[in-house]
Amino acid sequence: MNNKNERNNSIMFGICTYNRKDIMCMSANSLSRIKDLGEIDVRVYDDASEEYGIDFLREYYPYAKSIVIAEANKGADINSLRMLHDFLNAHYDWLFIADSDLLFAEGIVATIESCIAEYKQEGYKGVISLFNTFTHPCIGKVNELLCRKEEVGAAGVLVKRDIVELIIKNVKSDIPYDVQFSRELREKGYDILCTNKSFVQHIGIEGYNSLYYTFDWGKEFVLDSLQNAKALNAVFDMLMEKIANDQNKSIQSRLYEDIEKKRIGLKILAKCFFQVSKKRIAHN
């Protein structure tokens, strides 16, 4: 990728949206501030949201090459598969699954380009995630940029066309597709790589395949803008409100949920506060 035209024709940012207006707006504002935004193609896929329509999406994603709204809500996995099929029918070489509940480091495009260069130079075959989470621990460091993992989620993942074809071919309706593709890649001997630091941060709180008590947090997120810092503060307020509301439940029901739902959110949340506090101190 030695020039802008080549770069523009090679990378697609795919974003799936559904309701969660406040979260989506923070994510869209974060994306609007990344450097070299004009050098990538952003495509938005809405799953028939009830909280907003096409005009609202156009306002928050004015730079999007296309915004497609489904005729009926089918769920996050079906909407994601629509995005994957659309990618294969387009001219792009790489798909970055950006998602609508992520914050983005301002230099993420340059990092993606570094990942692609590394991928080509070393002859890797698989995926590279730019979302390094505590949930999916590293199993070995590759270099200063990348490490290896046994699995990653779909959000923040950079994939080539052959991997998208593999995902679509092996998808099963009863298992979330982002769980399936790591399994398929691992069984087939593909590389599952991840940046050592997170260049996206999850702010979804609750979604189709996640709940706040299993909140997934990006390790050492590159917090390089005041706008992203303000968004994280707002997310922490949302988390604390949900936790406070949860405490109003009976002790018996809370214990039941802790066991049945494998609640780990408070541990993750403590790490969130600790990381952001360190960054605030360093910034001041």
| Three-class SS of 141-158 | ECCCCEEEECCCCCCCEE
Q: Please give the mean pLDDT across all residues of the chain.
A: 82
- 175 pLDDT band, cuts 50/70/90, is low
- 234 pLDDT band, cuts 50/70/90, is confident
- 257 pLDDT band, cuts 50/70/90, is low
Q: Is residue 140 part of a domain?
A: yes
Structural domain including 279 reads: 226-283
Same domain, 235 and 163: no
Q: Is residue 46 part of a domain?
A: yes
Same domain, 256 and 117: no
Same domain, 96 and 129: yes
Q: Which structure tokens are listed for 83? A: 């995005």
Q: Is residue 218 part of a domain?
A: no
Residue type, 250: S
pLDDT per residue as tens digits for the range 94-117: 999 999 999 999 999 999 999 999
Running DSSP on this structure, what letter comes out for residue 13? E
pLDDT of residue 270 exceeding 70, the answer is no
Q: What is the mean pLDDT of residues 134-155?
A: 93
Dihedral of the alpha carbons of 245, 30, 113, 85, in degrees to the nearest 10: 70
What's the confidence (pLDDT) of residue 2?
43
Tell me whether residue 48 is exposed, middle or buried, using C-beta atoms within 10 angstroms of its C-beta: 0 to 12, 13 to 18, 19 or more. middle
Same domain, 236 and 170: no
pLDDT of residue 176 exceeding 90, the answer is no
What's the confidence (pLDDT) of residue 264?
45
Same domain, 274 and 173: no
Same domain, 138 and 38: yes
Q: Express as a percent the part of the chain with pLDDT over 70.
A: 75
Please name every residue paired with 61 in a beta bridge, in sequence order, or none if there are none: none
Q: Which structure tokens are listed for 264? A: 């780990």
Same domain, 143 and 245: no
Q: Is residue 214 part of a domain?
A: no
Same domain, 126 and 256: no
Q: Is residue 209 part of a domain?
A: no
Same domain, 41 and 145: yes
What CATH number does residue 46 fall under? 3.90.550.10
Same domain, 259 and 121: no
Same domain, 27 and 142: yes
pLDDT per residue as tens digits for the range 142-152: 999 999 999 99
Total domain count, the chain: 2
- Of 174, 204, 234, the residue that ends a domain is 204
Q: Within its chain, how far is the Cα of 80 from the centroid?
A: 12
Same domain, 242 and 275: yes
Q: Is residue 271 part of a domain?
A: yes
pLDDT per residue as tens digits for the range 204-228: 865 444 544 456 788 889 888 888 9
Q: What is the mean pLDDT of residues 258-275?
A: 51
pLDDT per residue as tens digits for the range 44-101: 999 999 999 999 999 999 999 999 999 999 988 889 999 999 999 998 999 999 999 9
